[in-house]
A and B are shown apart, each in its own frame.
Chain A
Amino acid sequence: GIQVEQSPPDLILQEGANSTLRCNFSDSVNNLQWFHQNPWGQLINLFYIPSGTKQNGRLSATTVATERYSLLYISSSQTTDSGVYFCAVERTGTYKYIFGTGTRLKVLA
């Protein structure tokens, strides 16, 4: 089956710093989503991005499907950005999403 790898597994930043999170996947996919899980467990969808680039405020994402990776950029990080960031990919033709193991981000004040 598809393997989804995220890097780095852990990241500590000072408030105001920028960061790039990476998601690599081992096979072609229909769709890709990025999520943020807050310390209380709630998952929030950040981007639905099967290809191309999208921006939402301080966050942006780029997916290069032909090269099987996606990047999530966080600029001017804030303490509220802390939590775990997951990417999830849909196996082609299945409606099933496979989640990566996540990047755990801690932003220090």
Chain B
Amino acid sequence: DGGITQSPKYLFRKEGQNVTLSCEQNLNHDAMYWYRQDPGQGLRLIYYSQIVNDFQKGDIAEGYSVSREKKESFPLTVTSAQKNPTAFYLCASSISGRETQYFGPGTRLLVL
């Protein structure tokens, strides 16, 4: 089945620790996105990538980093500089930057 997978489903971070969230898609989509969702809120864009080896900051990129070495993969690292990382993280992809976005199941990040 084609789709987007995110792992892990739940992730616990200790103070001062970097953690990496995985996002993989087998839809052959060029564009990929990372969003953050806080309780009761809409989604906010962290980073997006229109093509391999290229990515752009979204509205809340501080404390996060990404890479796009392969078309199918767009991992997100939550660094220790992100002081309030507890949230629901959603990855999405689309054929190009202006088409329908398809979302993965999300990763819930909690700080210990």
Is B truly associated with A?
yes
Residue in A30, A45, A101 whose beta carbon sits within 8 Å of that of B98 in the complex:
A30
Distance between B41 CB and nearest chain A CB, rounded to angstroms:
6
Residue in A31, A45, A95, A98 whose beta carbon sits within 8 Å of that of B48 in the complex:
A95
Main secondary structure of the interface of B (DSSP, over half): strand
Query: Number of contacts between A and B (CB, 8 Å)?
Result: 53
A45 vs B98: C-alpha distance in the bound complex, in angstroms?
Answer: 14
**Listed residue (B37, B48, B56, B92) with the most chain A CB atoms within 10 angstroms of its CB:** B37
B interface residues with partner A (beta carbon < 8 Å):
31, 33, 35, 37, 41-45, 48, 50, 56, 58-59, 88, 90, 92, 97-103, 105-106, 108
A interface residues with partner B (beta carbon < 8 Å):
4, 30-31, 33, 35, 40-45, 48, 86, 88, 90, 95-102
The 10 closest A-B pairs by CB, nearest first: A95-B97, A99-B42, A43-B103, A99-B43, A48-B100, A101-B42, A41-B106, A45-B100, A100-B42, A42-B105
